Amino acid sequence: MAQYRLQTLLEIREREEEAAKQAFSEATRALRQEQELQKALEDELEAMIQDRYRRREEYARKLASGEMKVTDQAAAYRFIDRMKEREQEQRGKIDAQREQVREAEKQLKLAQDELVRATQDLKALVKHKEKWAAELKKARQMREEDNLDEIAQVIFNSQRGGR
């Protein structure tokens, strides 16, 4: 069978598609990681807020019952304020992480677009190769039919001439 003249290009396109699949898989994994990190940061913030509310209620209860001295109250409020500051820092981390998630989403979209392009390019070339193979097969069949017709004509002429 004849060598497909675009075989090298076909192999290149196959490698490009495989690389695009790998890049898409990697981008998907990266996005998932960034989303999980964002969720963990948000869960941590929620726990920090709950802890602050719990401590504030505890301090208020101790102050009302007399377990906490008025002098300790200032330290307790400073501690609550530090907790609020850490919550703000955590919100900043979450905002930064949201940006990371958006960037990972952009990278995933780019990888997806590249995969679609590579797949379309490969499919077009595969279709071309299939059409080329069909034309080659048809041409071979036509030659065989011509050869058989010629053989039949020779046999017919030799039988007619032999009478």
Domain assignment present for 70: yes
Distance of CA 66 to the CA centre of its chain: 60
42/68: higher pLDDT: 42
What CATH number should be reported for the domain holding residue 17? 1.10.287.1700
Domain assignment present for 95: yes
Phi, psi angles (nearest 5°) of residue 26: -65, -40
Domain assignment present for 2: no
pLDDT digits (tens, 9 = 90+) for 129-160: 999 999 999 999 999 999 999 999 999 888 88
pTM attached to this predicted model: 0.74
Domain assignment present for 29: yes
Domain assignment present for 36: yes
- Categorize the per-residue pLDDT at 2 as very low, low, confident or very high, splitting at 50, 70 and 90: confident
Domain assignment present for 100: yes
pLDDT digits (tens, 9 = 90+) for 55-76: 999 999 998 888 888 788 889 9
Domain assignment present for 73: yes
Q: What angle do CA 127, 128, 132 make, to 5 degrees?
A: 120
Number of domains comprising the chain: 1
Which residue range is the domain that position 85 belongs to? Answer: 7-124
27 within 8 A of 111, measured Cβ to Cβ: yes
Q: Name 77's Cβ contacts closer than 8 Å, sequence gap at least 6.
A: 59
